Amino acid sequence: MTVPARRGASDVHEATCKAYLDRFATMRAELPGAGLPWLDAWRARAIERFAEHGFPGPRLEEWRFTNLSKLAETVFEPFPSAANGISREDLGGYRLEDGSDHLLVFVNGRLRPDLSSPGAPGDGITVTGLSRALEDDAEAVEESLIGAGDLTGEERAGAERAGEERSASLGQLNAAFMVDGAVIRVAANAQPERPVHLIFLAHPNKEPAGMHLRNIIHAGEGAKLTVIESYAGLADGPYWTNAVTHVTAEKGAAIQHFKFQAEGAGAFHIAVTDVDLHQDASYTNFVMSLGGILARNEIRARYTGEGVHCALKGVSLARGRQHVDTTTSVDHLMASGVTDETYKGIVDDRARSVFRGKIRVAPGAQKTNAYQLNQNLLLSDRAQADSKPELEIFADDVKCGHGSTVGDIDAEALFYLRARGLEERDARTLLIEAFLGQLIDDIEIAPVRAMARKAFTGWLAGLGG
Amino acid sequence: MEPLLVIKNLHARVEGKAILDGIELTVNAGEVHAVMGPNGSGKSTLAYVLSGREGYEVTEGEVIFDGKDLLAMAPEERARAGIFLAFQYPIEIPGVSTSVFLKSAVNALRRQRGESELDAMEFLKQAKEKLSALKMDQKFLSRAVNVGFSGGEKKRSEIFQMAMLEPKLAILDETDSGLDIDALKIVAEGINALRGPEKAALMITHYQRLLDYVVPDKVHVLAQGRIVKTGGKELALELEENGYAAFNAASKDAA
Ligand SMILES: Nc1ncnc2c1ncn2[C@@H]1O[C@H](COP(=O)(O)OP(=O)(O)OP(=O)(O)O)[C@@H](O)[C@H]1O
Ligand SMILES: [Mg+2]
């Protein structure tokens, strides 16, 4: 008797991995920075580790709620062809209301100088593409990348490290294939007035494209910087944005970091933002996630100096069959750090939102003040939200707390508003806005606030009856 | 002239439990009716059924309001047709500002009546007038709906909303409960200000006191889901004197 060959999921994933390895072998000599010994070695080590670990599976705690098997079924071409049809006019909808002095536009993962206006260097800020930075100042790039979270060589226990590596294997794939991204450096005490805006457009052609973006954001001592990342898809077909962003705020630096994730309907968006905060640094991260079929936004923040102030905020808007994962991990290594974390999910249809938030307070990180809140509003019976806070506290003189809620629209409130004559839809909208609370209003920078408001209103307008 | 509200043989259930058991009630335009009755007799249920609250299932009977089949309408349609319910227990709605919500309610009604919408300035002007008539602080407007209001403030806020919406039929569910003497007078004035030949009110109350200020045309006793007695304003005095013993109220609790 012959048994028809059945390809199990793991075979498919293995085939995908193999395809990436083959692609790496043929492309490695042409990758940006090829020939730089440290980078060649770094990429080689990364692809090896990816080969060893493969795609992170649901057995890993970090990926328990987010299943990557669909992502792993497809080989996303890591060097997608450029889409030439895009002109400045196409950017209108993604631009800040009042423009920006520093604009980098990436299409299909590559910087498009013709669409960008990075601004003249001079006010202490330089904004370039990664490929270009590898040509101009590879040493600085090396310094920013080595020791980065996904490939760190720190002396941690072997098992823990292996686990971390496994769950970060997509970061390793990114390290192997990274082609471009933004490199933003602000000199000590420089405080450029206008934000830096990064627009990542995906305009996939026939083949599913994989964009392995790598961004570096560095604010020197006492520097001040605002960065906005906008991700958008110009097609509904499948593609994959795999972004890794390194953020460093030196002593006393202040960074406001925003992200609008509005990928195309069939897109996978996996992003890791790795944040190093030095003494008295302040960092605000705000993410609005509304695109893609599967999105994961992971933030890993380390407080390596005392007196850090960090605010992590986000809104996940999900409908249809979207899956939106917010994973944060905050490491209070030093004393007197403040973490103020609020994530809200609004989930409709059969969509799902996932929140995993870890706050670790190291021994000696006294006077830590950390609060984490995750709230979810389910707009349909089949919508789902998972929330997993995790506090690990090894110091005694700290204030730490967390809260997490999952609920429906309050039927009594809905009736109250309708009984006053409000259309059901308008009443629901009011209650959804009320649920969102101050998250958008609290954005200090007016054009960014306007962008968030517009995105949210646009999403609300798409609500079913 | 056709009555404003006609309730015929109204039966309703809540969570499978029969509460209203054949209500018959007719209210003409220009009239104020008081509905009294023991706790749990179905007064609030009647108010909710009239305003269209989900979960209140009408099993029999009909309600004609202003010539229309009220029960076929969604809550917001009823509101726009001129029904207003002042809740017995007004809920708090955090994050929804009173002015934003009320302006959109007022304008929904104005659209319905074919009137032009109020802009922010006009709305504010009207709101401030009504607030001062009710001796209420203007900061109410910027606060979230009922959030942090005292019991009495919530009741006043209901009357303020009523004043803004100018309903044809106001259903006031124990709006007098929890009010101090001064507030009661103010609220009564608010209700009286809305009386008119085309308007009517259904006041659910436990106390004669309110009826001293808002004199009803008729008083009904609702017990065990039915109107068991109807009289003039003197019926309220009688009830104050003798209670509901005559209507066998206790049996309801025992059941
Ligand atoms: N949601 C509900 N689920 C179950 N029973 C209910 C519900 N709402 C009302 N009831 C019951 O229906 C009956 C009538 O309640 P209702 O609130 O209408 O009384 P009422 O006359 O307004 O009383 P009160 O004077 O105390 O306000 C009570 O027995 C009450 O327990
Ligand atoms: Mg009641």
Task: Please report the pLDDT score of residue A150 as a whole number.
Answer: 43
Q: Per the CB < 8 Å rule, is A415 touching B80?
A: no
Nearest CA residue ID for atom 26, ligand 1: B39
Q: Does A465 touch chain B (CB under 8 A)?
A: no
DSSP letters for A337-391: -EEEEEEEEEE-TT-EEEEEEEEEE-TT-TT-EEEEEEEEEE-STT-EEEEEEEE
Which ligand 1 atom is at minimum distance from the Cα of B41? 21
CA end-to-end distance (rounded Å), chain B: 42
How buried is A155 (Cβ within 10 angstroms: 0-12 exposed, 13-18 middle, 19+ buried)?
A: exposed
CATH number at B132 reads: 3.40.50.300
What average pLDDT does range B163-180 have in this prediction? Answer: 94
Task: Please report the pLDDT score of residue A3 as a whole number.
Answer: 47
Q: How confident is the model at residue A118 (pLDDT cuts 50, 70, 90)?
A: confident
Q: Scanning the structure block, which residue is given the tokens 């806020």?
A: B157
pLDDT at residue A250 above 70?
Answer: yes
Task: Please report the pLDDT score of residue A8 as a whole number.
Answer: 65
Contacts of A431 in chain B (CB under 8 A): 93, 95-96
| Nearest-neighbour CA in chain A from B245: distance (Å) | 34
- Smallest CA-to-CA distance from A241 within A283, A292, A301, A307 is with A292
pLDDT at residue A452 above 70?
Answer: yes
Q: Per the CB < 8 Å rule, is B145 touching A435?
A: no
Q: Does B104 touch chain A (CB under 8 A)?
A: yes
What average pLDDT does range B124-149 have in this prediction? Answer: 93
What average pLDDT does range A85-97 have in this prediction? Answer: 86
Give φ, ψ of B12 to 5 degrees: -145, 150
Contacts of B112 in chain A (CB under 8 A): 421
To test the contact with chain B by mutation, choose from A344, A416, A423 the residue with the greatest count of B C-beta atoms within 10 A, namely A416
Nearest to A423 among B76, B100, B101 (CB): B76
Q: Does B51 touch chain A (CB under 8 A)?
A: yes
Task: Please report the pLDDT score of residue A86 as a whole number.
Answer: 86
Q: Per the CB < 8 Å rule, is B101 touching A435?
A: no
Between A38 and B252, the higher pLDDT residue:
A38
Q: Is the CB of B228 under 6 A from ligand 1?
A: no
Task: Find the Cα–Cα–Cα–Cα dihedral A409, A413, A414, A415, rounded to 10°.
Answer: 140
List pLDDT tens digits, range B24-39.
Answer: 999 999 999 999 999 9
Task: Please report the pLDDT score of residue A160 as a whole number.
Answer: 57
How buried is A130 (Cβ within 10 angstroms: 0-12 exposed, 13-18 middle, 19+ buried)?
A: buried
To test the contact with chain A by mutation, choose from B96, B100, B166 the residue with the greatest count of A C-beta atoms within 10 A, namely B96
| Distance from chain centroid for Cα A129 | 18
Q: Is the CB of B14 under 6 A from ligand 1?
A: yes
pLDDT at residue B129 above 80?
Answer: yes
Q: Which of A19-23, A123-127, B208-212 has the highest mean predicted lDDT (pLDDT)?
A: A19-23
Amino acid at position A110, single letter: R
Q: A16 with A71: CB under 8 angstroms?
A: no
What average pLDDT does range A378-399 have in this prediction? Answer: 96
List pLDDT tens digits, range A142-199.
Answer: 999 885 444 444 444 455 556 677 788 999 999 999 999 999 999 999 999 889 999 9
Coil, strand or helix: which one is A299?
Answer: strand
Annotated domain spans of chain A:
11-305, 409-465
The number of domains in chain B is 1
List pLDDT tens digits, range A206-244.
Answer: 789 999 999 999 999 999 999 999 999 988 899 999 999
Q: B146 with B154: CB under 8 angstroms?
A: yes
- Smallest CA-to-CA distance from A419 within B68, B93, B153, B13 is with B93
Q: How confident is the model at residue A204 (pLDDT cuts 50, 70, 90)?
A: confident
Q: Is the CB of B226 under 6 A from ligand 1?
A: no
- Smallest CA-to-CA distance from A281 within A248, A245, A328 is with A248
Percent of chain A with pLDDT over 70: 94
Q: How confident is the model at residue B240 (pLDDT cuts 50, 70, 90)?
A: confident
Task: Please report the pLDDT score of residue A465 as a whole number.
Answer: 55
In this structure, are strands B83-86 and A323-332 parallel, antiparallel, or unpaired? unpaired
The number of residues in chain B equals 255
pLDDT at residue A323 above 50?
Answer: yes
Q: How confident is the model at residue A345 (pLDDT cuts 50, 70, 90)?
A: very high
Q: Is the CB of B39 under 6 A from ligand 1?
A: yes
Task: Please report the pLDDT score of residue B155 as a whole number.
Answer: 93
- What is the Å distance from ligand 2's center to B173 Cα? 7
How buried is B207 (Cβ within 10 angstroms: 0-12 exposed, 13-18 middle, 19+ buried)?
A: middle
Between B140 and A323, the higher pLDDT residue:
A323
Ranking A77-81, A210-214, A352-356, B45-49 by mean pLDDT, the lowest is A77-81
What average pLDDT does range B12-22 have in this prediction? Answer: 96
List pLDDT tens digits, range B42-101.
Answer: 999 999 999 999 999 999 999 999 999 999 999 999 999 999 999 999 999 999 999 999
The pTM of the full predicted model, rounded to 2 decimals, is 0.91
Task: Please report the pLDDT score of residue A413 as a whole number.
Answer: 97
Coil, strand or helix: which one is B239?
Answer: helix
Q: Per the CB < 8 Å rule, is A419 touching B76?
A: yes
For A415, the closest chain B residue by CA position comes to: B53
- Smallest CA-to-CA distance from A76 within A214, A216, A174, A151 is with A174
Average pLDDT, chain A: 92
pLDDT at residue A366 above 90?
Answer: yes
Contacts of A417 in chain B (CB under 8 A): 93, 96, 101, 105
Q: Per the CB < 8 Å rule, is A418 touching B96?
A: no
**Which residues constitute the domain of residue B223?**
5-254
User: Looking at this predicted complex, what is its ipTM?
Assistant: 0.95
Q: Per the CB < 8 Å rule, is B95 touching A426?
A: no
Task: Find the Cα–Cα–Cα–Cα dihedral A167, A172, A177, A183, rounded to 10°.
Answer: 100
Give every CB contact of residue A284 below 8 A, 6+ residues apart in sequence.
A255, A256, A257, A310, A311, A312, A313
Between A91 and A309, the higher pLDDT residue:
A309
Q: B99 with B41: CB under 8 angstroms?
A: no
pLDDT at residue A307 above 80?
Answer: yes
What is the helix (H) or strand (E) element at residue A37, kind and residue range?
helix A37-53
Q: Per the CB < 8 Å rule, is A418 touching B74?
A: yes
Task: Please report the pLDDT score of residue B255 as a whole number.
Answer: 38
Amino acid at position A131, single letter: S
What average pLDDT does range A354-379 have in this prediction? Answer: 97
Between A206 and A91, the higher pLDDT residue:
A91
Angstrom distances, CA of residue A410 to CA of A321, A416, A434: 24, 10, 11
Q: Is the CB of B41 under 6 A from ligand 1?
A: yes
Q: Which residues are close to ligand 2, an ion, with C-beta < 5 A?
A: B 43-44, 88
